[in-house]
Amino acid sequence: MLLSLSSLPALILGAPGATRAAASRADAGAVVRGRYLVLIGNCNDCHTPGWRDSDGTLPQSQWLTGNRIGFRGAWGTSYPANLRLEFQMLGEDQWAIAIRTRGGHPPMPWHDLRVLTPADRHAIYAFIKSLGGAGVPAPAALPPWREPATPYIETRPRNPSSAS
């Protein structure tokens, strides 16, 4: 069989090893971009215990493991999810649908997630999935009438006292 030089790139790119290597490079790029998006999106502020107290210096091995400190408001008490465990159970397509259609409790900015591009959704998913599972699930959300047994941040607006 005689091959022309013009058909050589197609043969090389079509080789299983070349395809895997190209996919691996693309995934590595997505993971790096996802890490960046997680940082500028401030995901760690709520989803990583101790993040703010550490001034953002916790090792990546501790990122996004959920939080037992709740946010309490008129909706009840909600807890930042352990994204690392959730992403081990969710496929990428399931996650993409969930962030576009799922509502949730404050302070999670669901409305902001809905405007992510498909490439950014993929990058965030690739990064969080690359971290692997760690930690324990966050506590379940509580209705407004139930007192939380964990620490929480009160988010109810307060009127200023009138000065006399």
Tens-place pLDDT, residues 43-57: 999 999 999 999 999
* Alpha-carbon gap, residue 14 to 39, rounded angstroms: 36
* Residue 96 lies in domain: 28-154
Angle between helical axes of 118-131 and 92-101 (0-180°, round to 10): 120
How many structural domains compose the chain? 1
pTM for the model: 0.80
* Alpha-carbon gap, residue 137 to 75, rounded angstroms: 21
Nearest Cα residue to 25 out of 126, 134, 137, 144 = 126
Whether 19 maps to a domain, the answer reads: no
Whether 164 maps to a domain, the answer reads: no
* DSSP code for 106: T
Whether 161 maps to a domain, the answer reads: no
Whether 138 maps to a domain, the answer reads: yes
In the structure, how many helices (H) and strands (E) does the chain have? 7, 3
> pLDDT (tens digit, 9 = 90+) per residue, 59-94?
999 999 999 999 999 999 999 999 999 999 999 999
